[in-house]
Amino acid sequence: MCGAIPPIQVLGVLNKRSLNFPAQTWPFMCIDMGMGTTNSPTTLNLATRKTITKAQMQALQELNQAFSRTFSLSLSAWLGANVQISMMGAERQVFTTLLENIDVDHTYFSFCHFSPVEGAAIISMELKLIAPVIHLGLGGVDSDEIEEPRELTDIDVAIMDILMTRLCGELNQLWAQCGLRSEYGQRILPATLGRLFPRTEDMLCVTYRMHIGNMSGVMQIALATAVSETVLRELVRQDSKRVQNPATRQILRTRLSNMNIEGALETLPFKVSAQEIVGLEPGAIVRTGINEGTDFLFVISGERVWTASAIAVGERRGAHLIDRRTE
């Protein structure tokens, strides 16, 4: 099969979002890594890569709005400074790709456990966000000049432990409807990061933008497969069971009943020759070919809903409804 498709030179990480055609159209691609070896190209099945559906992404965004707001207020009260957190996006990555996309030397890593599923998550935060957290956590004020990131002391790590414990507490509120509970573990050093999960572990990575005082940076929560599958499955299941409040439904129904919707009374479509169109003039009679007893169509908002007949209603015209169309 590989001989039928020219190889593609891959200079970086290949994923289906970098291609201009759907995975369903080209389920298998031949990859030439350009290493100068004589091995045959490796077959890659793009259709097997897991993605986040539109419904799952919408549910994640709605849930994270509340999380971002409450966690921002919690940190602002603790640090005595303005803290703002907002979700930037979410995607699924294998663990090796996650490590490749993170500047490991300039990132602070923590580990938390989830129950009742046997799962875990990595919380990563840019080091430039750590300095204001430590400064404010030690009693500094927002207007003070903050030093550049440095080697962390035991006191610094203890302050970060408090932050991560608070974060896990907010995560418990975030994922409570999914039946999950998180517990903060410990700081993870970059040297041991690669041994936390198998290289092919599928991770759900949720990325946030954090503003702490005048400093801005990125925080990411990467959920392992067992946790992410539970989260995505439960979010969509609960969203599908959501029922609109009866009082809200009645209010909407009342408001809609007072609206005017465009309607029309149409005949069936018919054809007119081009020669006849050229000769049209006032008073001309156009032969439609429609039988005398053919009903009109009552149209609502462009949809042909009923068959009807035109009638006189006083000095105006009306539509006498006959049958509801099922097409």
pLDDT, residue 260, reads 77
Mean of the per-residue pLDDT values of the chain:
77
Do both 195 and 99 map to the same domain? Answer: yes
Whether the Cβ atoms of residue 180 and residue 93 lie closer than 8 Å to each other: no
Whether the Cβ atoms of residue 227 and residue 123 lie closer than 8 Å to each other: no
Do both 311 and 215 map to the same domain? Answer: no
Q: Please list, in sequence order, all residues whose beta carbon lies within 8 angstroms of the beta carbon of residue 204, skipping any fewer than 6 positions away.
A: 52, 90, 91, 92, 222, 223, 227, 228, 231, 232
The CATH number of residue 267's host domain is: 2.30.330.10
- φ/ψ of 285, rounded to 5, equals -110, 125
Cα(316)–Cα(264) distance, integer angstroms? 14
Cα(205)–Cα(93) distance, integer angstroms? 7
Cα(318)–Cα(314) distance, integer angstroms? 9
Which DSSP letter does residue 254 get? H
Domain range for 33 is 2-48
Do both 101 and 231 map to the same domain? Answer: yes
pLDDT, residue 147, reads 65
Where b means 16+ CB within 10 Å and e means fewer, 81-93 reads bebbbebeebbbb
The CATH number of residue 169's host domain is: 3.40.1550.10
Q: What is the pLDDT of residues 277-287, one digit of tens each?
A: 888 888 888 87
pLDDT, residue 23, reads 39
Distances (CA, A) of 231 to 28, 204, 316: 30, 10, 60
Predicted TM-score (pTM) of the model is 0.58
Q: Is residue 24 assigned to a domain?
A: yes
Which H or E run includes 266? strand 263-266
Q: What is the pLDDT of residues 6-43, one digit of tens each?
A: 433 333 333 433 334 333 333 333 333 344 444 444 34
- Which of 11, 27, 48 terminates a domain? The answer is 48
Q: Span 217-239, mean pLDDT?
A: 84
Residue with tokens 């190889």: 7
Do both 68 and 186 map to the same domain? Answer: yes
* CA 314 distance to own-chain centroid: 56
Total domains, the chain: 3
Do both 201 and 83 map to the same domain? Answer: yes
Which H or E run includes 84? strand 83-94
In this predicted structure, the answer to whether residue 73 has a pLDDT above a threshold of 80 is yes
pLDDT, residue 143, reads 63
Do both 6 and 114 map to the same domain? Answer: no
